Homo-oligomer: A and B are copies of this chain.
Amino acid sequence: MSISVSLTDSRARVGVWLIGARGSVATTVVAGCAAVTAGLQAPVGMVTETAPFAGSGLPALSSLVFGGHDTLDCPLPKRAEALAAGGVLPHGLPEAIAADLAAADAEIKPGGPLPGDTRRPDELIDAFAADIRDFVRRHGLARAVVVNVASTEPVAAGPDLPSSSLYAAAALRAGCPYVNFTPSTGLHHPALADAAVTSGLPYAGRDGKTGQTLLRSVLGPMFAQRALAVRAWSGTNLLGGGDGAALADPAAAAAKNAGKERVLTDTLGTTPEGRTHIDDVPALGDWKTAWDHITFDGFLGTRMTLQTTWQGCDSALAAPLVLDLARLTARAHEAGLTGPLTELGFYFKDPVGDAPSALGAQYEVLTGFAERLRTHAADHGGDAEGAR
């Protein structure tokens, strides 16, 4: 398939429409993009700012325009203040980038459905899609990417579309690429399968790997490559914030854990004993501690163990990846790519399509993708297939 695309123009403005736009991750995305653009902070944690991505034609950080849906009311500047008080954002940053926060805040529309909302699913999708189209039009954006960073939904039961799928359908209806950074259903609903194909839009997901699973995606391959027999892999996650409360719901935790355990099975080639717990510990605020205990056999059956303790701030780990994904997906859209972006498996616990599960191999696929985008960018409107 050969398509014609406009000249790569990193100055063209690109929209990032966040589902869950008033949450910790979204607030950190908006604040962080502004801080880096203003030169107040280095782009630590942004893979797309490293050498292999130079010249790949990604939209500049300064070209990103933020908006989104949320069911909450709390203004972004206030949310940012709370994050700064909790040590997630640097002190003084919310004041320094107050205008950027206010601008994004003005573009957040009410999400749904809230209790009492009698609109049918299709009406909701229409309303959400209209919000997005309006955002694109008013800002004269070249395109917008919809990214789901809302709290994890319980595993869906039944044929009804969960909220995350309503938003995903709205993205397609508005002609926007879609990225699911959470384990929620999103575009993975049978009712959306056809629309995903016929839309001709690129999409990526599911469930960003930011901490414990990131670690597992390098430790699993290490054991496998060394032919060490992992017998048990147990884990406990302690987290506060909204995420802790959402995941205290066993159904929501089940969605999250499925991804965590899939990485083990995929990289080890077997499913070890052991469970993974997610505990709500409000005292931890936006911080998270993940302990993993791995029992393995060495030569002659000698039993050994590895323990890891990861202490991180989920929003600070997730936000740069969200910016990466928004840029890469926008660029893929510009380059005429369609369907699942399997090249972005590096970012996800449960990547779409067939892709390697070891982080190192995923990184090679990702940088190879950057290389192809670079070639494509150099060709100014060449064959989109060339970007694959």
Contact = CB atoms under 8 A, between A and B. Distances in A.
Contact of A306 (B50, B231, B302, B310): B310
Which residue among A226, A304, A316 has the maximum number of chain B CB atoms within 10 Å of its CB?
A226
Given A221-B360, A308-B307, A281 B300 contact: no
A299 to B, nearest CB: 4
A45 B291 contact: no
Interface in A265-310: 272-275, 277, 279, 281-284, 289, 291, 293, 295, 297-310
A45 to B, nearest CB: 4
A273 to B, nearest CB: 5
Nearest to A323: B299
Interface stretch (A88-96, A124-132, A159-167): A88-96
A219 interface: yes
Interface stretch (A111-119, A186-194, A232-240): A232-240
A225 interface: yes
Nearest to A89: B300
A218 B227 CA distance: 15
Interface residues of A, number: 77
A44 B282 contact: no
Nearest to A346: B225
B215 A44 contact: no
A60 interface: no
Contact of A297 (B44, B291, B295, B363): B44
A317 B305 contact: no
Contacts of A310: 304-306
Interface in A236-276: 236, 238, 272-275
Contacts of A225: 47, 346, 359-360, 363
A214 B226 contact: yes
A153 B126 CA distance: 56
25 contacts: A42-B301, A44-B229, A44-B297, A44-B298, A44-B300, A88-B302, A89-B300, A91-B91, A215-B219, A221-B360, A225-B363, A227-B320, A236-B291, A236-B293, A272-B283, A274-B281, A275-B279, A283-B295, A298-B320, A299-B317, A299-B320, A304-B312, A305-B309, A307-B308, A359-B360
